[in-house]
Amino acid sequence: MSITIKTPQEIEKMRVAGRLTAEVLDYITPYVKSGVTTGYLDQLCHDYIVNVQGCIPAPLNYAPPGYRPYPKSICASINHQVCHGVPGDRQLRNGDIVNLDVTVISDGYHGDSSRMFQVGETSVQARRLCEVTFECLWLGIVQVRAGAQLGDIGNAIQKHAEKSGYSVVREFCGHGIGASFHEEPQVLHYGRPHTGVRLEPGMVFTIEPMINAGRMAIRTMADGWTIVTKDHSLSAQWEHTILVTDTGYEVLTVSQATPPQPAWIR
């Protein structure tokens, strides 16, 4: 499959989808607290996407080859869950960290973003992991410009994660996105600089590093979707959808309450 260069009309639709995705994360933020189930968070997001935004939650019934249909409208991954956590009856507890991953389809185009949330008073280790993972995301984003290569993104993320004493999950990566949920290219969160696909204006893809406090090894739970760390160490992830522009990059998944770029990262 080739990489799709988006037209100005497609880019405008993706700006709308990206903003709506970020607004779902804004909306759900005050509900992420101790005692709330991930299933309740999923229902709130579903109703907001469908009834308020008039859009479609892309994960619901999504079934790539080899997978059973995903049964919920968002992913909710707690503590040692790396990604694709299936919302259910589990209640959030004080000290938990949780990633909520939202993908909205608006007018046929996808926006994809995730954020980390800290429930009540979390440990120093948990707070630092969330912070470093957010920095990894942005260190990857600022590599994006026409003429750069995908390896530049992965290398920047890997260097910062490993320098901080963490590991990078290898099995999952960012991806092209547009009219389809997952398109080319694959955007690895590790690698060597000056290698891989060369970036061109009009490319749109996600950057979504998954960073483990312990070893990088992972396994899949019995539900066929939820990914966890093998050593039960904490894991964190942040995600944005990025457009390559003539002058650099544009983050498409932004809203009024989107956490800002760290000041020291330029």
Residue 90 and residue 78 in contact, taking contact as beta carbons nearer than 8 Å = yes
- Ramachandran quadrant class, 120 (left: phi over 0; alpha: psi -120 to 50; beta: rest): left
b/e code 108-143 from CB counts within 10 Å (16+ = b): ebbbbbbbbbbbeebeeebebbbebbbbbbbbbbeb
Helices (H), 97-252: 124-141, 150-163
Which has the closest alpha carbon to 170: 130, 210, 226?
A: 210
Sign of CA dihedral 39, 43, 256, 134: positive
Binding site, residues? 84, 101, 112, 175, 182, 208, 239
What DSSP designation does 154 have? Answer: H
Binding site for substrate, residues? 84, 182
Q: How far apart are the first and last CA of the chain?
A: 33
Name residues whose C-beta falls within 8 Å of residue 4's C-beta, 6 or more positions apart in sequence.
Answer: 176, 178, 183, 184
Residue 41 and residue 32 in contact, taking contact as beta carbons nearer than 8 Å = yes
Binding site for a divalent metal cation, residues? 101, 112, 175, 208, 239
Q: What is the spatial distance between Cα 165 and Cα 148, in angstroms, rounded to a whole number?
A: 27
Question: Strand, helix or coil at 174?
Answer: strand
Residue 1 and residue 180 in contact, taking contact as beta carbons nearer than 8 Å = no
